[in-house]
Amino acid sequence: MGVKRAMQIAIDTAAKSNEPVYTCGPLIHNPQAVEYLQKHGVDSVNDWQTVEKGTIIIRAHGMPDGSIASIKEKNLGVVDATCPHVVTSQRQIRKYSEQGYFIYIIGDPRHPEILSLQSFAHGNHRLIADYADAEKEQPPDKIMIIAQTTYNASEFNKIAQLLKSRAREAVISDSICQATSERQEEIKRLAADADAVVIVGGKSSANTRRLAEIARALCPRTFHVETEAELDPSQFTGVDRLVVSAGASTPDFITSRVIDFLKSL
C-alpha cells in the first residue's frame, strides 16, 4: 500500500506541477521504479538543500523530524508521501520518548527509515541490528521496543521478548507492515516444497533481500532478480513446482513481467 501510494503521489504531483519535482533520495528501493518516475518528470536528489526551486516529495521511508519545516523555510514545495505505517511508528516513538521510556529501535542502522525513526526519540534510545546486539543489552526500567516496518517479523519477536525479559516495564509496538510479515510467512510455507523460488525486487531493498534469505534457507535454488532479463531458462530445468514472490517495494508491473516470462518456459 505504501509503495503504490507514494508512486501515485509522485506521478500526480509531477503532472500538476510547472516546476521541477524531486524526491529526496530514491522514492522506494527499486531502480526500475525510479527510472519509471524519471520518465514521468520526477527526479531524485541526494540532498534537498541543493535544490533552488520546485517541489520536494518526502519518500515512503520518511525523513528526520523537522526536515519538512526546513524545506518549507527554503520556499520549496513539500508533498509528504511517507508510508502511513512509518508515520504511525514516528508518532509512537515520540509519544513514549516524551513519557520517559528508553526507546529500542530494531532495524538496519543504515536504512533511511531508521534514520527517520531515531530522530523522533528525543530522549535516550539505541539502535539494535540483530539478536546478537540485543544480547549485549541491560535495559533500564522502562523501555519501548519498535522495529523498522520491513524488518523480519520472527527475528523482531525474539529480540523483543529478550529485551522485555530484562526490563521492569516494556511496551512492544507492532510496527512491522502486514504486507511484509505476510510475505515472509508465505515464503516459509511455500519454499520448503518448491523446486525453485524467484524473488522479484530491488537488490538494495532490505525487505526483498530478507525474503530471498528466508527462501534460500528452505530452497537453495532461489533467485533474487530485479527484472525478467536476469533469468536464464536453463536455471529451471527439471523444475515442477515454482514459487514467485516480490518485495513490498516492487511495483506490480515488474512482478507481472517476471511471471509472464516464467509462464512462457
The full 3-state SS of 106-148, as one line of letters, equals: ECCCCCHHHHHHHCCCCCCEEEECCHHHHHCCCCCCEEEEEEC
User: Do residues 160 and 130 touch, judged by C-beta distance below 8 A?
Assistant: no
Is 152 strand, coil or helix?
coil
113 is catalytic: yes
Residue appearing with cell numbers 544480547: 135
Active-site pick, 35, 113, 182, 213: 113
Q: How far apart are CA 95 and CA 104, in angstroms?
A: 14
Mutual angle of helices 178-191 and 153-165, in 10-degree steps:
110
| Segments of the chain assigned E as strands | 21-24, 42-45, 55-58, 77-80, 102-106, 125-128, 142-147, 169-172, 196-200, 222-225, 242-246
The set of catalytic residues is 113
